[in-house]
Structure 1
């Protein structure tokens, strides 16, 4: 099979977006006559970082080790994210490509900072000090990419308070694809996800974001063409999750504080805890400082059951650690997983009110979000075109765990422990 592949992850792209996308030149080049999966079943919780690790390892959350976008850092309302590859417990498709002697490139792909990738520009930022981005990126990029391309494009990054990661990343990817001709390139763009969080599920802002993504696809396609490798390149568009409308924010840490399970100082800063709610968007992960403390465990379970029985709190289900592992292959440093009803999102605040509704003046949450059960709402898609994919073939659905086995088959690389299946029905040579 051909050993060139460009994968673009369009964060939060869903099937409903394809009507517009199919009319735009960048998407159209891949969609017309290409292969397609209409619905890709993701994993729980539907969060960008855990899912993108699935999309580069072919392993579920319990095995690859990334259970949330953010690290557990009780007391910090904006924790660090899982940026570094060291947090991933299993090999990636980049590792498999290297074993085969292939060259690799990743741009803004979650959980790749400091990875062994030939041309690496990871997704990373500085939540605390906002120091010079060159310091942050030099620590986390591949040396040759940083030395050759960072300064050329850094003016596009912006940085504080809101880095323009997409434009910066695509600009670097164009150069790397054109000049270095990597065998495997994986690029992540967030514009559609950001638009949905801020504006709702559908509407003009989301359409504008899809058009912006299309302009990036056009540039990447042109870069491949200028590299002289267009006809031997397989183009793949993937997505990670959909969104659901949010109209209520629930702060379980307020309950824990009221019950004496969170302690704060005179300035309201958290100083210690026995139980803590770690947000995962439309679900929550509940930590115990001492999992062996049976009295605290009983108290926490009573609080959670009370919240579940109180309709205003909007809790649909509570899962123990074992239940989460068995039902969702989800594991982490938490003892319980809390699932909200439709419209409920969880935050980590420990001051204020437990429930803040959309119409309240102090409501400050996004319009839509994710972290929900993956079967709910609009679904991600997979689009592919190239010499190793059949023309004009569509399948109804697959698991997101099926993506890496398919990528590996196209690249001709071997990976152990994959949990999905190769989508042979999409390939010219199954």
Structure 2
């Protein structure tokens, strides 16, 4: 298969929404892509629409049920901070970076989710210390490219302030610019989180979120300039994308409080989870309901009745209930017993204490116990699409694709590099391409 480009740079601006498009048109670097490249303003995300499943879909072309990353975090009832799906080993099948490496291409990734331990030449994975005895530096180093990460930290570590934004994205930007100019990778995956963080803690349309979009425009400009300075501009394609949108919320639904009331969850003397028959695993705007014993028909009937009762009153915040077959048909985890979708203004929380419906306060948000906006909702929610922009080698200019799905991005990126991801849930969007292969 012929290559349409020699270098592909994929930039994920986490939580970039279709609703941001009017603002992007007013910003110089984003507008340059809109005017001179190709784009799809309405990209339907996946279910659940949370970051790790989304980014794995982007590089595999598959739904969560097939690639295996069904949530951000593992089902670990009782653990205060569950582990995340950080590692490549959890992904089923191949990925864009695997196929690029097999083809002899130089690969790089900066904080791209689910790449810890991946076979990537220059890899700074998104992973954090999640145990009291862990330290961030060795955790990062041992799960990525050691010498590369040491070099980036030596050069640009002063930009960073832990995991705080926008400083973390500033560090990622400087590392990206240096990587482009010094390594010239054939495939570069970059994940920026500034906008997502601002929306979570300040609201979807907050001034903080708008300022993050403006910062992203400047970051995009720096990346384009680095490509030019590296002397590979004419041989490079740049893809800009979001993984999901977000919705404001003011109430948290704590189904595990309800399950505890009906003795489906047991706690010890210190009110810590001791045992469970049913557990609500949050995906923010949606949630999985798991049974410890999936064949326990009695528990399943009790849970189903509890959920159906919640539907009666909109104040309970539950909009839809999906059974296992329906959730799987939407691409979600086939091992869940139910999946529930929150109404506008609500999201799901895993706490087992307090009231079933918690009204979120500013104090809650400042303490980062709750948020002002989140994602994870059904891709069928209104005004909930994300977007994709492409420009550079192999891309047909002044092209608008009316709509597509997140699952289509991986196969499309693979085609640009002359690669194949094999059988995928998504398809190649040929309309983006010019007809002159390299």
- Asked if Structure 1 and Structure 2 have the same fold, meaning a TM-score greater than 0.5 normalized by the shorter chain, the answer is yes
1:280-339 deviations in Å (ceiling 9; x for gaps)? 11111111111122222222222222222343212122112122112x021254211111
Moved over 6 A (4+): 160-163, 359-363
Q: What CA distance in whole angstroms lies between the structure 2 residues aligned with 1:129 and 1:160?
A: 17
For residues 411-426 of structure 1, the aligned pairs below 5 Å read: 411-426=417-432
Aligned to 1:105: 108
Alignment partner, residue 410 of structure 2: 404
Distance change in 2, residues 1:5/1:243 (3 Å): same
8 Å CA contact retained: 2:411, 2:420: no
Of residues 42, 47, 66, the one that matches 1:39 is 42
**Secondary structure, aligned partner of 1:381:** strand
TM-score for both structures, normalised by structure 1: 0.95
For the 8 Å contact 1:77–1:348, the answer to whether it is kept is no
Q: Which secondary structure does the structure 2 equivalent of 1:396 belong to?
A: coil
> Equivalent residue for 1:95?
98
Query: Per-residue deviation at 1:15?
Result: 2.3
Paired residue total:
429
Counterparts of 1:336 and 1:378, CA distance in 2 = 23
Q: CA distance change for structure 1 residues 57 and 163 in 2, over 3 Å: closer, same or farther?
A: same
Unaligned runs of 5+ in 2: none
Aligned to 1:344: 346
The equivalent of 1:308 in structure 2 is 311
Q: For 1:160 and 1:116, how far apart are their aligned partners in 2?
A: 25
Residue equivalent to 2:374: 369
The 8 Å contact of residues 200 and 371 in structure 2, kept in 1 or not, is answered as: yes
TM-superposed deviation, 1:117 = 0.6
> Secondary structure of 2:347's partner?
strand
2:251 is equivalent to residue 251 of structure 1:
no
Q: 2:78 aligns with which of 75, 78, 81?
A: 75
Q: What is the alpha-carbon distance in structure 1 between the residues aligned to residue 344 and residue 32 of structure 2? A: 37
**Structure 1 CA distance for aligned equivalents of residues 164 and 134 of structure 2:** 11
Q: Which has the larger displacement, 62-71 or 309-318?
A: 309-318
Indicate the residue corresponding to 1:197 in structure 2.
200
TM-score (structure 2 length as normaliser) = 0.93
- Which residue of the partner structure matches residue 55 of structure 1? 58
Deviation at 1:163, TM superposition (A): 9.4
Q: Give the 3 Å change call, closer, same or farther, for CA 380–362 of structure 1 in structure 2.
A: closer
Partner residue of 2:336? 334
Aligned CA distance change for structure 1 residues 109 and 161 (closer, same or farther; 3 Å): closer
Q: Deviations over 1:102-121 (max 9, x none)?
A: 11111111111110011111
Q: 1-side partners of 2:420 and 2:347: how far apart?
A: 40
Cα RMSD between the aligned structures?
Answer: 2.0
Measure the CA separation in 1 of the matches of 2:138 and 2:164: 17
Instruction: Give the Cα–Cα distance (whole angstroms) in 1 for the partners of residues 238 and 25 of structure 2.
Output: 15
